[in-house]
């Protein structure tokens, strides 16, 4: 049985990961800024009577709070096997529509939140000589993804952070992976720019996204892909299949990938 922390565990991908962990008998700390949501998820998962779920309120932008939680989990259980730095937000809007607040919020949550998780977990795992850090990025961290460039920029940064740390950690017993899903059916798609200046993609953006994207993948299927990728120690866990195809295409022809992104922007603008 493993001891794991899942940030952003109250909904979406994080909830699906926590469910997979508890279903196989692990202990999962469901951490989220939505404390009530985290408690509800933990209560439901404990009803499975397999593993154990524990709720923890956590704002990943608070480095001290992240370090305190990760350290407390290690102290209580004597180890910390898995960390899923998963918490994130969506930012929607074309570049000229975005305020600095959009950029700063994306950097604070999507990038600094992961940095805080890595900074807290990595020394623990080095000390114990083992562990696996799994950072949630996005297909937007591998291919050109317009209409939300702050999100895209931070996810590229998470991919780079993860691959660089993986190289450093390889000889120390610590594994590092980045999860790069394409469009997944999560609240992220319907909660664009929370508490930020509105753009044409604010609020319920599901219709705009649907015009430019394939059918979203379910979180349950993605969680299975993630757990399989973790077991195989994959550097990049890219899902579903059309996401992997887009990634391969972008590597073969970056110019063609940009043209595809231009087409998506055109469909979004035409729908306004």
CATH of the domain at 107: 3.40.50.720
CA-derived radius of gyration, the chain = 18
Strands 131-136 and 82-85: parallel
Torsion sign (Cα): 182, 185, 190, 193: negative
Q: Which domain holds residue 255?
A: 3-270
Enumerate the H helices of 84-112 as residue ranges.
100-106
Stretches in the chain below the pLDDT threshold 70:
186-191, 193, 201-215, 272
| Strand order from edge to edge, sheet including 52-57 | 52-57, 27-32, 3-7, 82-85, 131-136, 174-181, 236-239
Q: What is the DSSP letter of 139?
A: G
- How many Cα atoms within 13 Å fall on the side-chain side of residue 45? 31
pLDDT tens-digit series, residues 74-101: 999 999 999 999 999 999 899 999 999 9
User: How many domains are contained in the chain?
Assistant: 1
pLDDT of residue 183: 83
d(CA 98, CA 87): 22
pLDDT of residue 198: 73
CA torsion angle 245 251 252 253 (round to 10)? 100
Catalytic: which of 122, 151, 217, 242? Answer: 151
pLDDT of residue 267: 81
pLDDT tens-digit series, residues 16-58: 999 999 999 999 999 999 999 999 999 999 999 999 999 999 9
How is the chain split among helix, strand and coil, in percent rounded to 5? Answer: 55, 15, 30
Q: DSSP 3-state assignment of 13?
A: helix
Q: DSSP 3-state assignment of 176?
A: strand
d(CA 110, CA 74): 24
Torsion sign (Cα): 54, 116, 87, 34: positive
12 burial class (0-12, 13-18, 19+ CB within 10 angstroms)?
buried
d(CA 160, CA 136): 12
pLDDT of residue 194: 72
Q: Is 122 a catalytic residue?
A: no
């Amino acid at each position: 049985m493993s001891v794991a922390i899942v940030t952003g565990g109250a909904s979406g991908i994080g909830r699906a990961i926590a469910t997979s962990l508890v279903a196989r008998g692990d202990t999962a700390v469901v951490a989220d800024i939505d404390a009530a949501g985290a408690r509800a998820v933990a209560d439901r998962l404990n009803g499975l009577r397999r593993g154990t779920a524990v709720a923890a309120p956590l704002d990943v932008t608070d480095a001290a709070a992240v370090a305190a939680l990760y350290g407390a989990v290690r102290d209580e259980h004597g180890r910390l096997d898995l960390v899923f730095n998963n918490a994130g937000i969506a930012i929607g809007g074309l570049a000229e529509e975005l305020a600095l607040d959009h950029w700063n919020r994306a950097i604070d949550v999507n990038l600094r939140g992961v940095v805080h998780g890595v900074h807290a977990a990595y020394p623990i795992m080095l000390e114990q000589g083992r562990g696996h850090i799994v950072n949630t990025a996005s297909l937007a961290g591998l291919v050109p993804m317009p209409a939300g460039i702050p999100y895209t920029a931070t996810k590229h940064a998470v991919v780079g952070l993860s691959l660089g740390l993986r190289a450093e950690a390889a000889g120390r017993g610590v594994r590092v992976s980045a999860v790069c899903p394409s469009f997944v059916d999560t609240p992220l798609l319907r909660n664009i720019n929370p508490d930020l200046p509105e753009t044409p993609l604010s609020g319920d953006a599901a219709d705009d996204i649907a015009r430019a994207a394939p059918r979203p993948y379910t979180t349950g299927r993605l969680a299975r892909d993630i757990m399989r990728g973790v077991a195989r120690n994959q550097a990049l866990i890219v899902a579903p299949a059309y996401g992997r195809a887009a990634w391969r295409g972008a590597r073969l022809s970056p110019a063609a990938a940009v043209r595809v992104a231009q087409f998506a922007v055109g469909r979004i603008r035409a729908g306004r």
